Amino acid sequence: MVIRTATAVVALASSVALLASTASAATDPAHDLSTRVTAEGANRHLIAFQRIADTHGGNRAATTTGYNASVDYVAGRLRDAGFDVSTPSFEVREKINDVGRISAEGASYDLIPFGETPNTSDGGLTAPLRTVSEDGTPGCEATDFAGQDFKGAIALIRRGTCTFVTKYANAVSAGAAAVIISNNADGPLDLRVPGTIPGGGATKADGTALAAKAGQQVTLELRHHDEVHQDRNVVAQTKTGRTDNVVMAGAHLDSVDAGPGMNDNGSGSAALLEVALKLGAKPKLPNAVRFTWWGAEEAGLVGSRAYAQNLSFEQQLDIALYLNFDMVGSPNPGYFVYNDPGLPYGSKHIEKAFSDFYTAKNLGPEGLNVRGASDYGSFTALGIPAGGIISGGGEVKTPQQAAKWGGTAGMEMDPCYHRKCDDLGNINREALGRNVAAAAFVIASYAVTTEGVNGVPSRMERAALR
């Protein structure tokens, strides 16, 4: 299947290349659009985002006025260009920690309540503290709970080896009344672990101190609540083309709290806006294109998940594929194409479409497992083929990569990732220009035909390819 699918994309890419070489460039919509989008065009939108952050408390994070102003800017530009724009709202839940404390023999230790777990009742829970032995797999196996009576007890488990969810579930199975997970590195442990008993996170040092009190009666108080906010996505679809075979392209519009979020993800948002405005609301292409800017990605893909999960199965089938643009102007850039294992059928074609574009520009693209950690994960979860590009975050550039991509070996691709310094100066304009061209080329290619991603081309698509 991989070989068959790969061959299909080669056929698509070469037919586009043939058009480009035998006819004037204007007859190939993908080539045409990729040459009309510019770094300057995208950078104008980045300047807008920087000014919005600077006049709204320094960031554009979910549920802030800076985010709202970003939505208004993008929606306004699209409306001016003739798009019908909607800004559907969704809920963002923010965990507020009220009380987190465990008291034993006069000593008291701070805890952070787990999100999505129940609170302890008034006055707290008094029960014996039981420590799960700190072997190589602490709390990861049911046998870690053998030999002690955890029924009604407070289970203390060290972080490490397996997921928090697994440790918590094993403690629940052993009959524990509450769970404390202590860190195995410096820093607090603030978790969301959906479950039926109270849970809290302790620091490494407090976990060690508490472990020495195993067997004692302790009193645990964990109380938290969620504040519910409304946030908005931006959705704009071309007015032409098939609406039952839509090409979707998205970028998250929110930043983290720490800074203005220019590379993450002003860059992808600006690139996508440049593509949408240059494509226009009524392109003469066989498939409709739906552009989306997501809210609250940094809070856990909240906006895209709310959007995707609200689609009926028929509405999901109307989406041919989803393309994601998150961090495309890194200051020490690489040229990566998503290649997570196990993505839905058709995703390999998308990977190849981006890779072929970079290869044709002699950029030597590399695959990167992004682990579903951006909005495409909300679509692949539904079986929708998806892919995307990224110019790198915390990855350190190797000498081999510096040789082909330029930049600085031994340095992170984005040293300002999720930091205050992710500002306009944190953007590599050359990478931004190449990536806005890549986005334009692949979006327009699929607007011409999704052949190979979802099966044979329609008659209309074949006509467009002639």
**Residue numbers 10-49 binding Zn ion by CB under 5 A:** none
Is 414 one of the binding residues for Zn ion (CB under 5 A)? no
Catalytic residue, chosen from 297, 298, 451, 461, is: 297
- What is the size of the binding site for Zn ion (CB under 5 A)? 3
Q: Could you confirm whether 297 is annotated as catalytic?
A: yes
Question: Least distance to Zn ion from the beta carbon of 327, Å?
Answer: 6
Question: Least distance to Zn ion from the beta carbon of 210, Å?
Answer: 36
Question: Least distance to Zn ion from the beta carbon of 187, Å?
Answer: 22
Binds Zn ion (CB under 5 A): choice among 264, 340, 356, 451 = 264
3-state secondary structure the chain: CHHHHHHHHHHHHHHHHHHHHHCCHHHCHHHHHHHHCCHHHHHHHHHHHHHHHHCCCCCCECCCHHHHHHHHHHHHHHHHCCCEEECCEEEEEEEEEEEEEEEECCEEEECEECECCCCCCCCCEEEEEEECCCCCCCCCCHHHHCCCCCCCCEEEEECECECHHHHHHHHHHCCCCEEEEECCCCCCCCCECCCCCCEEEECHHHHHHHHCCCCCEEEEEEEEEEEEEEEECEEEECCCCEEEEEEEEEEECCECCCCCCHHHHHHHHHHHHHHHHHHCCCCCCCEEEEEEEECCCCCCCHHHHHHHHCCCHHHHHCEEEEEEECCCCCCCCCCEEECCCCCCCCHHHHHHHHHHHHHHCCCCCEEECCCCCCCHHHHHCCCCCEEEEECCCCCECCHHHHHHHCCCCCCECCCCCCCCCCCHHHCCHHHHHHHHHHHHHHHHHHHHCCCCCCCCCCHHHHHHHC
Question: Least distance to Zn ion from the beta carbon of 373, Å?
Answer: 8
Stretch that binds Zn ion, among 43-51, 70-78, 235-243, 263-271 (CB under 5 A): 263-271
- Smallest CA-to-CA distance from 230 within 88, 328, 110 is with 88
Stretch that binds Zn ion, among 12-20, 113-121, 199-207, 320-328 (CB under 5 A): 320-328
**Residue numbers 108-137 binding Zn ion by CB under 5 A:** none
Question: Least distance to Zn ion from the beta carbon of 232, Å?
Answer: 18
- Residue 126 has φ and ψ, to the nearest 5°, of -105, 125
Q: Give the contact letters, 265-294, x = binds to Zn ion (CB under 5 A), - = no.
A: x-----------------------------
Stretch that binds Zn ion, among 113-121, 144-152, 323-331, 411-419 (CB under 5 A): 323-331
Which of 183, 265 has the CB closer to Zn ion?
A: 265
CB 128 within 8 A of CB 153: yes
Stretch that binds Zn ion, among 67-75, 162-170, 319-327, 342-350 (CB under 5 A): 319-327
Which of 114, 376 has the CB closer to Zn ion?
A: 376
**Residue numbers 338-367 binding Zn ion by CB under 5 A:** none
Stretch that binds Zn ion, among 229-237, 274-282, 321-329, 406-414 (CB under 5 A): 321-329
Question: Least distance to Zn ion from the beta carbon of 259, Å?
Answer: 12
Which of 206, 326 has the CB closer to Zn ion?
A: 326
Question: Least distance to Zn ion from the beta carbon of 255, Å?
Answer: 9
Give the up-direction half-sphere exposure of residue 320: CA atoms within 13 A in the CB hemisphere.
30
Which of 237, 292 has the CB closer to Zn ion?
A: 292
Which of 34, 391 has the CB closer to Zn ion?
A: 391
Which of 274, 326 has the CB closer to Zn ion?
A: 326
Binds Zn ion (CB under 5 A): choice among 28, 326, 356, 423 = 326
Question: Least distance to Zn ion from the beta carbon of 189, Å?
Answer: 23
CB 429 within 8 A of CB 313: no
Which of 269, 450 has the CB closer to Zn ion?
A: 269
Strand order of the β-sheet with 319-325 is 84-86, 234-237, 287-294, 242-252, 319-325, 386-390, 336-338, 366-368
Stretch that binds Zn ion, among 24-32, 81-89, 257-265, 378-386 (CB under 5 A): 257-265
Question: Least distance to Zn ion from the beta carbon of 212, Å?
Answer: 42
Both tokens of 390, joined, read 């990224």
Residue keyed to tokens 């304009």:
429
CB 453 within 8 A of CB 46: no
Which of 134, 264 has the CB closer to Zn ion?
A: 264
**Residue numbers 363-392 binding Zn ion by CB under 5 A:** none
Which of 20, 373 has the CB closer to Zn ion?
A: 373
Residues that bind Zn ion (CB under 5 A): 264-265, 326
Question: Catalytic site residues?
Answer: 297
